[in-house]
Structure 1
Amino acid sequence: MTHFEPTKNKVLFGSSDKLADWITEGIDQGKIIDKIRLMLKNYLELDNVSFLFGSGTSVHLGAVAIRNFPKEVEEFILDQGLKGEFYSTIEELQAEVIKGKLDKEVFTDVRGWEFVVDETIYRDNESKEIAIEYEKVLNYLIAKDFVLKEDKSKERTDKINELIISIKEGLFKVCDLENRPVSQTIIDRKKASQFEKDKEQGTLLETRSKYIFHEKFVKALLQRPLNLRRANIFTANYDLAFEYAFDKLGVHYIDGFAGFHKRFFKPETFEYDIFYPGSTTSGKVQRIEKVVRYFKLHGSLSWVNSESRDSNNLYGIEEKPLELIETLNNKGEIIIYPSAVKKSYTLDLPYSELFRQFASTITQSQSVLITIGYSFGDDHFNDIIYQALSNPTFTLIIVDFAGTKNDYIKSMKELNDPRIIILEGVFFGDFLTFSDTLMPNFNNVDNNEKVANTLNELFSSKATQQEPTKEPEK
């Protein structure tokens, strides 16, 4: 039986904490979990279901969170001899963000996180990472490089381009999950029922699959009735955790790319689907079950600027295996993060198309968006979500470890809108719990487990019947 600590979790419908109410009413924890699972089942049976995943869904795999500038990327940049250029950039950005507070010893940002000054640079008080988002640094440098490139009156002596390449290459190394150890905390956490069962049997995560929780989520999601639209998975993560999980399960994913040996970005493929051919002369076809629509809104480690453009590659964007990208001399060709200086500026492809798909999908009637491990730190996403909330049939479910401790999510709670549901805390706000314990089982009983249990009962019964009867001792 899975247990959780009530004081470290919340289940908010609007501004009302239903979890506290249920505990007061004396409802046991198993029934509370059943209530939440049933609630999720009802929403997942809507026709238009979407998920938005943030960095909180990959941290257990060894990926770094990019709410601050990753320490490992910083160390990589320093190894490249770019210390002066890098730290001067950080000082410029922090002076703007912190608004002249660099002379103070401690700075607390809107998220409630505390940062301390180290010489002239603020760092996270716990992790010692530089207190500025990775994407903000990259975005700033790309914009600055563009401005300097346009000014033909001066000869450039800066190393901005080298710094951009170094930042991307450093991130590539820390987001390449295949070459990073799984966080030991995932082995130690008493989290999900099935995982505990595996641990009791002595089966460690590494001997099964690093991506077991992504696989569990996808398997549960694919149980939705086939008469519903394909589920949509949107992610802001650069890593390939979902891709590895899809491959392990044999799931087809429509991600905007087409081709085999050469895979190029073709946004029209988002409208494609996969069917079995008609088995009768009437031409009736049947949908293939294992298909999802998959959108990487901030780009991917596996996307690069293509060497050439032609009629088959109009956008100049190619998807490659990480093993080939590892051999590239210029990691600056990796396509990650939409580099608009301000959110009001026009985004270039592929981001303009990806964000258009996100907006058109979640703003349809009878839609539900479930965000998991996303801290609402991206204004592009937030604007689209706020727009969707203007639709009276839209529902937003937020699954986040910090929950309302985050000012962005707290502001959502303060809207007191019952269409906004927040699962918060070390249990209910965690991706591992969500994928393994909270995702509903649409088939009620897993067919394979049912068959296995039936066979075990049959063989057990047969063995009992054949056991020889012993003569009583005299």
Structure 2
Amino acid sequence: MYYDTTYLINRLRRKTDEHNSQSKESLTKDNITEYFANNPEEELNAFTELRLKLAECFKLDEISFLTGNGSSIYAGSSDTKKFNLEKYTSEDRYKDIKPELDYISDEDMENALNKINILYEQKKIVEDKDKAEKYGDLITEIKQDLIGNFVNSIDYARLLDHEILFRKLRTFGALDKVNVFTANYDLAFEYALDQLGIEYSNGFTGFITRKFSTRALESYRGLILDKVHGSINWITDPDDNTIKEIQPQFEHNDKGEIKLKSGGNVERVLIYPTSNKLYQTYSTPYSELMRFMLDRFESRSNVIIVVGYKYGDDHINEILEKALANPKNVFFFFDFDESNKQPFVQEIRRLAKQLPNVNLLVGSVLADFVNIVRYMIPATPEKTDGEKIVELLQKVAQNGSNSWNN
């Protein structure tokens, strides 16, 4: 099924009443957010059908979430769309390479890093050591800024909706069959789970020294957190080349925010947004994390909820394509961009209009992480109208039988 903002507007208009019929008739895609802000109970009602549909899907073997940066934006994470290469080209130390950088000044972070990497390799080939060094420094600085100014911009005191998500799943009695797959480096899910005292496995074992092991994921019977692109607190031990998880440190500032301490310039285990990320997925620990996700999607019946993800990673899209071949899966793809022209999204749009187990929900209201958590994720296995009718008929039949016997 395909859902957009028009679906919500039609839902509201069908439930119109004399008090606010005029305001509902004037609803449009441009003013529905303002309408919901003034009428929060209407937002809950507008999502009722979708919430019941998802509650029914929670009866499947596994409940799997796949998330991207869009799930952390509300807590202060910065969108990499805000990246601006001119911030660096205006610095004196890069003035020698500025003419070449000006040609790519309008590129997003991933494309800019790709092209800077190409320029870096070119300078090494022609043995222009000075420029090669500057390009190398620029690549390092951009990666450090990605961590410092984008990932670590999260205020961990604002993770209310991450907590609401897990509270609802716990109330539903579904925590033991939840998988959270995320491309995010931040510690939003870890922090929320810790605040709620919920146990989980992320593939690391040990207390003093926590090392990565695929078996820790495969043997665990409970909530799984699979960080397919690595994590801000994973490092490679230079002594034995093993992947280790370090204890994060948080600090309170005078604004009442809770921020993650930087941890210094250590070599973190991360897949950075460059064209090399596909090849990185073939190495440890990413290959094991990806393989685990694929195994869950292919071998079991899942409800797969994709939220906050921009559908820009071919290696993740490939896993989703393979998961679509499993007829036991039910999908809820969310896309903030209603006009997304990416081939993968266009294919999902086509399938959503043809297959009953594929749902695509688009737009800034339907695909907003906060709205999904608050209004669409069920807290209890609510009965549909059909189930209520069947239950009522069963009670009537039972009462009739008892009266006859008496």
Q: C-alpha distance in 2, partners of 1:86/1:334?
A: 29
Structure 1, unaligned runs of 5 or more: 1-10, 95-120, 123-130, 183-208, 275-290, 445-474
1:216 aligned partner = 164
2:268 aligned partner = 334
Deviation track 1:249-293 (CA, whole Å, cap 9, x = no partner) reads: 11222111222232222222112336xxxxxxxxxxxxxxxx520
1:298 and 2:229 equivalent?
A: yes
Q: C-alpha distance in 1, partners of 2:379/2:277?
A: 42
Q: C-alpha distance in 1, partners of 2:102/2:207?
A: 41
Q: C-alpha distance in 2, partners of 1:320/1:83?
A: 39
Q: C-alpha distance in 2, partners of 1:78/1:304?
A: 32
Q: C-alpha distance in 2, partners of 1:174/1:82?
A: 20
Kept in 2, the 8 Å contact 1:388–1:394? The answer is yes
Residue 136 (structure 2) aligned to one of 134, 145, 161: 161
Deviation track 1:36-83 (CA, whole Å, cap 9, x = no partner) reads: 1111111122112211111111112221112x3624x86478669346
| Aligned sequence identity (%) | 27
- CA separation of 1:345 and 1:219: change in aligned 2, threshold 3 A: closer
Report matched runs for 1:61-460 at 5 Å.
61-66=75-80, 68=81, 70-71=83-84, 75=87, 81-82=93-94, 85=97, 88=100, 91=103, 94=104, 121-122=105-106, 131-132=107-108, 134-138=109-113, 154=127, 156-157=129-130, 158-159=132-133, 160-177=135-152, 209-225=157-173, 230-273=177-220, 291-309=222-240, 315-322=242-249, 326-328=262-264, 330-331=265-266, 333-337=267-271, 341=276, 343=278, 347-407=282-342, 408-415=344-351, 416=353, 417-442=355-380
Equivalent position amino acid for 1:305 in 2? T
* 2:333 match: secondary structure: strand
Report the RMSD for the aligned CA atoms in angstroms: 3.6
Structure ranking higher in helix proportion:
2
Kept in 2, the 8 Å contact 1:363–1:387? The answer is yes
- CA separation of 1:431 and 1:327: change in aligned 2, threshold 3 A: closer
Structure 2, unaligned runs of 5 or more: 18-41, 251-259, 383-406
* 1:252 match: secondary structure: coil
CA deviation after TM superposition for structure 1 residue 424, in Å: 2.3
Q: C-alpha distance in 1, partners of 2:186/2:339?
A: 27
Residue 52 (structure 2) aligned to one of 11, 14, 38: 38
CA deviation after TM superposition for structure 1 residue 223, in Å: 3.2
Q: C-alpha distance in 2, partners of 1:295/1:64?
A: 22
- CA separation of 1:410 and 1:156: change in aligned 2, threshold 3 A: same
* 2:171 match: secondary structure: coil
Q: C-alpha distance in 2, partners of 1:363/1:213?
A: 29
CA deviation after TM superposition for structure 1 residue 155, in Å: 7.3
Kept in 1, the 8 Å contact 2:55–2:381? The answer is no
Deviation track 1:173-206 (CA, whole Å, cap 9, x = no partner) reads: 12454x6569xxxxxxxxxxxxxxxxxxxxxxxx
CA deviation after TM superposition for structure 1 residue 336, in Å: 1.8
Q: C-alpha distance in 2, partners of 1:212/1:363?
A: 32
CA deviation after TM superposition for structure 1 residue 168, in Å: 2.0
Kept in 2, the 8 Å contact 1:303–1:334? The answer is yes
Query: Which shows bigger deviation, 251-260 or 29-38?
Result: 29-38
- CA separation of 1:222 and 1:84: change in aligned 2, threshold 3 A: farther
Kept in 2, the 8 Å contact 1:52–1:371? The answer is yes
Q: C-alpha distance in 2, partners of 1:147/1:230?
A: 49
Equivalent position amino acid for 2:165 in 1? F
- CA separation of 1:229 and 1:246: change in aligned 2, threshold 3 A: closer
- CA separation of 1:362 and 1:225: change in aligned 2, threshold 3 A: same
2:28 aligned partner = none
- CA separation of 1:433 and 1:334: change in aligned 2, threshold 3 A: same
CA deviation after TM superposition for structure 1 residue 162, in Å: 2.3
1:49 and 2:63 equivalent?
A: yes
Q: C-alpha distance in 1, partners of 2:99/2:170?
A: 47
- CA separation of 1:294 and 1:251: change in aligned 2, threshold 3 A: same
Q: C-alpha distance in 2, partners of 1:147/1:317?
A: 34
- CA separation of 1:69 and 1:156: change in aligned 2, threshold 3 A: farther
Equivalent position amino acid for 2:167 in 1? K
Deviation track 1:391-421 (CA, whole Å, cap 9, x = no partner) reads: 2222220123224545443442123233221
CA deviation after TM superposition for structure 1 residue 165, in Å: 2.2
2:400 aligned partner = none
* 1:46 match: secondary structure: coil
Equivalent position amino acid for 1:88 in 2? E
Query: Which shows bigger deviation, 23-32 or 35-44?
Result: 23-32
Q: C-alpha distance in 2, partners of 1:396/1:90?
A: 43
* 1:40 match: secondary structure: helix
1:103 aligned partner = none
